[in-house]
Structure 1
Amino acid sequence: MEAGATPASGNVAAADTTVLDAELQAFLDWMTHERRLSPNTVAGRRRDLEGFIHWCGETRIGALSKIDLHAVRAYAARLRRLGRDARTIERHLSSLRAWFRYAVEQRGMANNPALEVQAPKPPQRLPKTLARDQLMPFLDGPWADTPADQRDRAMVELFYSSGLRLAELIGLDLPDLSSDLGEVRVTGKGSRTRILPVGAQARAALQSWLMLRSQWASAREPAVFVGQRGARIGRSTVAQRLHHHALRLGLDARLHPHRLRHSFATHLLEESADLRAVQELLGHANLATTQIYTHVDFKRLAQVYDQAHPRAKRTRKPTSGPPN
């Protein structure tokens, strides 16, 4: 049962949510065909909103016109009582705002009742990264010459070289790679496309994989990364393979794609202190997201500031003698 769902109690009959179900499907179709949002985004909205509709049925709400500010607040409060964290509640509210905004613009809903409902503020959590002395031995292998190992090595190197999200890596097609493998074109959140540089080690790993890829993939398969059956690799397979290699190579940390992305951003920002450049590479729409995402040691930033800012350098006071 979804987060907001509550079982029926007593003899209170649940409302018929057929109308709400139809309205939701219209919204999902609009996101898919008109907005052309990613399947992952649409699936996430579906999960959140189906949970809300289930709750509407149990609280005897059967139409959009019956959903008001108090109903949305009650649903958010229900999620809180069930122990959902602030980020999860905000995600559900974001899905509701998006659906009701569409309903106001396209379906004649009077207003958006979720606009004024706020989730509790989440505690700021810094992302977990891998230290360089942890990560470099892992990247350097050893890796076998099999198609599976060479594919996995190329994926790991590309995650760390270019800061890709998991969906971005899985979605790569052969035309997205430049002829010299020095650049890769990815489509990120909001269908935003960006061109990313590929480091020397990642280029070499990609080249090794592409030389073996035809053993698994047919000439008609566009995906860069495929499984043994020749189809585009799946999310769970990538996660399983990273975990497998982390154990095999003795990496003393839980490894997943986003941790490699975190490490990419952190290490790059520590060296460059160029927040705007890291923002562009990560594909973040807002700079604030990058600031949270990249876990930078304040002492490191303070050191860069003292060295670089023309008004930051302090003049030492003379130790003895009167001023000239």
Structure 2
Amino acid sequence: MGAEPVSATNASAAVPGLTSRYIDHLRAERGLSGNTVDAYRRDLARYADYLADIGVPDPRDVAADDLEAYVGWLRGRSNERGRRYAESSIARMVVAVRGFHRFLAREGLAPQDVSADVVTPRAPRSLPKALSVAEIEALLGAPVGDGPLVLRDRAMLEVLYGAGLRISELTGLDVDDLDRVDRLVRVQGKGDKQRIVPFGEPAAQALDAWLVTARPRLAGRSPALFVNARGGRLTRQGAWKLIGGHADRVGLGERVSPHTLRHSFATHLLDGGADVRAVQELLGHASVTTTQIYTLVSRAALRKVYEQAHPRAHRSQPVDI
């Protein structure tokens, strides 16, 4: 039997109350990662803003037409960087809202699932943005000097690219996760799944310089592999800000996102002849389908080379007789 509906005596409190129940469900029953739960929370907060805008503060009073209009409302809004939401972001936000309404109906918190017939916008299939090898070299060489924070940033960049980690996986690393002899790192991935990933000699050298020369001066008793200037564990936001700063210094600011080094890692492996199944294991993808999008990147690169170089890549030229 579903739970009793939330009292409607204070409709303005309905959104956070119902949202909290849904977030608890995602965390406890579906076992989603902290980052994924946070993303759902942000998406539902944005939905609450929309409901306030249209004068329907209680999600149990929402109609299907209201949900269909939500897509248009999102397309007219900008993100925290002042940019219009990408279609892929809008699709994700609609999925979060549909899941929320489905939960309310299933738990007896709403009379019906008003989202059942609402079509999720189809997100355009976009290829991951990968840097060239030369651009990667420029980014990895951006931290200049031998100060503690410079050594940290150099090691951080080398590990991100050398092991293809997500930025949350990088900031979650402890010193004990490293095997410096065999150049391996134990990674806690999505869904708390662990994997062991190798890293190369440049990353090993950068890590040695950071661990031996610089980290002892900052970290104190923290087990974290990468710490901030105050000795606490470096956060995802902090790491991304540092990477963005180095990208700006070498003219790659617009090209670099938190996932760029990971995308480049996968693309460069496949370009070098690596098997897609091996790349799947290295990235920690649950399905090879997720990894296969990187094969499209390589095909796109081949197509570009072909069209630029082959004399008959474009329309036929008249033959001289």
Normalised by the length of structure 1, the TM-score is 0.75
Specify the code of the residue in structure 1 equivalent to 2:201.
A
The answer to whether the 8 A contact 1:183-1:195 is kept is yes
Task: Return the match for 1:216 from 215, 218, 223.
Answer: 218
Superposed counterparts of 1:69-88, under 5 Å = 69-82=64-77, 84-88=85-89
Percent identity between the aligned chains?
38
Contact 2:88/2:124 (<8 A) preserved: no
Q: For 1:143-170, what per-residue CA distance to the aligned partner results, in whole angstroms no more than 9, with x for missing partners?
A: 4332212111111111111111111111
For the residue of structure 1 that corresponds to 2:233, the secondary structure is: coil
1:66 matched to 2:61? The reply is yes
Question: Structure 1 CA distance, aligned partners of 2:50 and 2:244?
Answer: 37
Residues 108-130 of structure 1 deviation map (CA, whole Å, 9 limit, x = unaligned) = 54554334423333333323222
Given candidates 50, 53, 62, the residue that maps to 2:45 is: 50
Partner letter of residue 188 of structure 2?
Answer: T
Q: Distance in 1 between matches of 2:248 and 2:91?
A: 35
Q: Who wins on radius of gyration, i.e. which is larger?
A: 1
Paired residue secondary structure (1:228): coil
How far the C-alpha of 1:269 sits from its partner, in A, is: 0.8
Which consecutive unaligned segments of at least 5 residues does structure 1 have? Answer: 1-14, 304-324
Does structure 1 retain, via aligned residues, the 8 Å contact 2:87–2:123? yes
Question: Which residue number corresponds to residue 19 of structure 1?
Answer: 14
1:262 aligned onto 2:263:
yes
Give the structure 2 partner of residue 283 of structure 1. Answer: 284
Whole-angstrom CA distance in 1 between matches of 2:143 and 2:16: 52
Structure-2 change in CA distance of 1:142 and 1:109 (3 Å): closer
Alpha-carbon distance between aligned partners in 1 of 2:147 and 2:201, rounded to the nearest angstrom: 21
Query: Quick check: 2:95–2:120 contact (8 Å CA) kept in 1?
Result: no
Report if aligned partners of 1:17, 1:61 keep a CA contact under 8 Å in 2: no
Q: Which amino acid aligns with 2:42?
A: R
Q: Which consecutive aligned stretches of 4+ in structure 1 deviate over 6 angstroms post-superposition?
A: none
Residue pair 1:28, 1:42 contacting (<8 A) in 2 also: yes
Deviations 1:31-53 (A, max 9, x none): 34554533332222122112222
Aligned to 1:12: none
User: Within 5 Å, which residues of 2 pair with 1:204-243?
Assistant: 204-211=205-212, 212-219=214-221, 221-243=222-244
SS at match of 1:151: helix
- My pick for the range that moved more, 56-65 or 231-240, is 56-65
Q: Secondary structure at the match of 1:230?
A: coil
Distance 1:54 1:241 in 2: 31
Taking only aligned residues, the RMSD between alpha carbons, in angstroms, comes to 3.0
Q: How many residues align?
A: 286
Cα pair 1:181 1:203 within 8 Å, conserved:
no
Contact 1:90 1:118 in 2 (8 A): no
Change (3 A) 1:24 1:244: closer
TM alignment of 1:137-152, pairs within 5 A: 138-139=139-140, 143-152=144-153
Distance 1:277 1:113 in 2: 43
1:191 is aligned to 2:186: no
2:239 partner SS? helix
Contact 2:131 2:264 in 1 (8 A): yes
Please give the per-residue CA displacement for 1:213-232, whole angstroms capped at 9, x wherever unaligned.
1210122x121100111001
Name which of structure 1's ranges 265-274 and 56-65 shifts more when overlaid on structure 2: 56-65
Matched residue of 1:296: which SS? Answer: helix
1:113 maps to what in 2?
Answer: 114
User: Following the alignment from structure 1 to structure 2, what is the Cα–Cα distance between the partners of residues 268 and 67?
Assistant: 48
Matching residue of 1:322: none
> Residues 198 and 112 from structure 1, CA distance in 2 versus in 1: closer, same or farther, beyond 3 angstroms?
farther
- Give, in whole Å, the separation in 2 of the partners of 1:123 and 1:20: 31
Q: 2: distance between equivalents of 1:299 and 1:56?
A: 44
2:192 and 2:112 map into 1 onto residues whose CA distance is 28
Q: How many angstroms apart in 1 are the aligned matches of 2:201 and 2:244?
A: 24
3-state DSSP of counterpart to 1:272: coil
TM score, norm. by length of structure 2? 0.76
Note if 1:130 corresponds to 2:131.
yes
